[in-house]
A and B are shown apart, each in its own frame.
Chain A
Amino acid sequence: MKRRGLFFLQLGFTLFVCAFLIVPMILSIMAGLTVNYFVGIESGLTLRWVMEVWNGYRDTIFLSIGLALACLAATLVLGIPAAYVLAKRQNALTRAIEELLVMPVAVPGLATALALIVTYGSLSGFRTSWAFILVGHVLFTLPFMVRSVLAVLMAIDLKTLEEGAASLGAGFWERFRDIVLPNCRQGILAGSLMVVTLSMGEFNMTWLLHTPFTKTLPVGLADAYASLRLEIGSAYTLVFFIMIVPLLLAMQAFAKPRPAKFVAEETE
């Protein structure tokens, strides 16, 4: 019976933690849809705040989506070949390279952004374009793509599969197209979701890298939180939730492992 008590104690605790995470989200969603949050829900529901956000901050939403997609394209092009090399050769050098690639995630975004500004800030055409932010996002998200693809490549017997394809006459690029890419698509997909989600939410670097003409969604959020009434901040957050929730749900679905199959021998 003592075990039962312990179970409910832990369950209660876990439910409390859940509430800690979920309640503010619900409050924020409600605030974004209420006429006057200070008065409460009885002041009525409205889409006015959401519309105001849409009219005022539409551009930030499109810029963030565009940036996320460009970032995805860049990390695919840079990351998949890099992951392949790291999977193919495992020695001190490739481990050092992997370590280096992860540094932009370990080092605070503020430092990376400052470094980019002091180095390239004087190239004004570059500094004021969204490509400047893109560079920061790619630095930050590339390790996630590389690691995600690398994890899958390490889990399959890449070397033997490639040798098998080579024995059938496939040259390097044919092997890469027919064997390597299809067999790490799980990793590519998981990595892509991660990259898009992170790029959409990136603030630490973006706040320093952005200009008044290149505001992303989180930058707009920070603006709204700082200067506008709570309801608009909430409505804006709601918009952000709507954009990011499908990505997060997809990521959760992906994280679930598949049970291994066993096929019994049968004779013909």
Chain B
Amino acid sequence: MRNELRRLIFLLLPAGIFFAGFFLLPMARLFFIGGSGKTGWAAYAAILTDSNYFNSLLSTLAVAAATTAATLIISGISGVFLQRNRFPGNGMLVAMLTFPLAFPGVVIGFMVIMLAGRQGLIGQVTQALTGEKLVFAYTLSGLFMGYVYFSIPRTILTVMAAAEKLDPKLEEAARSLGASPWRVVLDVIIPGLKPAFISAGAICFATAVGAFGTAFTLAAKINVLPMVIYTEFTLSANIAMAAALSFVLGAVTWIVLALARTAAGSSVAAAG
């Protein structure tokens, strides 16, 4: 049985070496480089003390929070609806809703441009209706739209999986006790879906905080933290500050996911 332990260690070794060499070590190095700039370890506090960074942190968190709320409401309604009602075309709708599951951020950004960009659908429709062209793709609103687009597919999948496991007898029991449909939603369905909401919401939030591709496609002007890091790194060549900021960003997302995992009591798979 000692033999078995040796064998298991041997099997874990390839992944372990790779992971230590290419993640743990670089992350540790990133941490030290973050403290090696002009301002030293104060760089780690800059995200709070420097008003520019602090503002981008605030708008990053605001977009992420708005994305999470909107995605949960949309996916909650449609996910429960599709799970509960079987009708012809149901499978087709589910397939369509979960289709963009693995679209990269850049493509999502392009989708937003197709909808709300200078030559976008919304602009054309509003121009035809009001004479004024509505274009918001290249702002925080456009970014918000992109993150919602990105988050809907995986959140709907999570909600549907959770709704499937809800015991319909609980709803029947609540109704037999005289609860109105709204009370059933409030007292039975939402509490039952809470773990799914927490874990899916955490993933929405974490991706919205850390994603880069969508913002990059929409405009360099959008003032969110990942864009700031990118600018610091490439344009200002301020590697230490970029390192410090990205380390903080990484810590924030990781903590959000870890907290959600504790709260939901189940494993929260991270986002792509």
Contacts and interface: CB of A to CB of B under 8 A. Distances in A.
Interface in B32-77: 33, 74, 77
A120 B29 CA distance: 10
Given A21-B99, A207-B212, A116 B253 contact: no
Interface string B112-135: 111100010100000000000000
B186 interface: no
A114 B242 contact: yes
Task: Determine chain B's interface SS by DSSP, over half rule.
Answer: helix
A207 B15 contact: no
Interface string B76-103: 0110011001000000010111111111
Given A21-B99, A21-B152, A203-B104, A88 B30 contact: no
Given A89-B8, A198-B102, A221-B110, A110 B210 contact: yes
Nearest to A14: B78
Interface stretch (B170-178, B193-201, B244-252): B244-252
Contacts of B253: 106-108
B272 interface: yes
Task: Determine chain A's interface SS by DSSP, over half rule.
Answer: helix
A74 B269 CA distance: 21
A38 B118 CA distance: 10
Given A31-B114, A37-B119, A118-B239, A77 B30 contact: no
Interface residues of A, number: 84
19 contacts: A6-B181, A13-B81, A14-B81, A17-B78, A18-B96, A24-B112, A24-B115, A81-B14, A84-B11, A111-B246, A111-B247, A138-B18, A139-B22, A172-B7, A201-B102, A204-B105, A204-B211, A237-B107, A240-B107
Interface of A: 3, 6-7, 10-11, 13-15, 17-18, 20-25, 27-28, 31, 37-38, 77-79, 81-82, 84-85, 88-89, 97, 100-112, 114-116, 118-120, 135, 138-139, 142-144, 146-147, 172, 194, 197-198, 201-204, 207-208, 218, 221-222, 225-226, 230, 233-234, 237, 240, 244, 247-248, 251-252, 255
Interface of B: 7-8, 11-12, 14-16, 18-19, 22-27, 29-30, 33, 74, 77-78, 81-82, 85, 93, 95-107, 109-115, 119, 121, 149, 152-153, 157, 181, 206, 209-213, 216-217, 226, 229-230, 233, 239, 242-243, 246-247, 249-250, 253-254, 257, 267, 269-272
The 7 closest A-B pairs by CB, nearest first: A108-B210, A115-B26, A105-B270, A201-B104, A111-B246, A107-B250, A81-B11
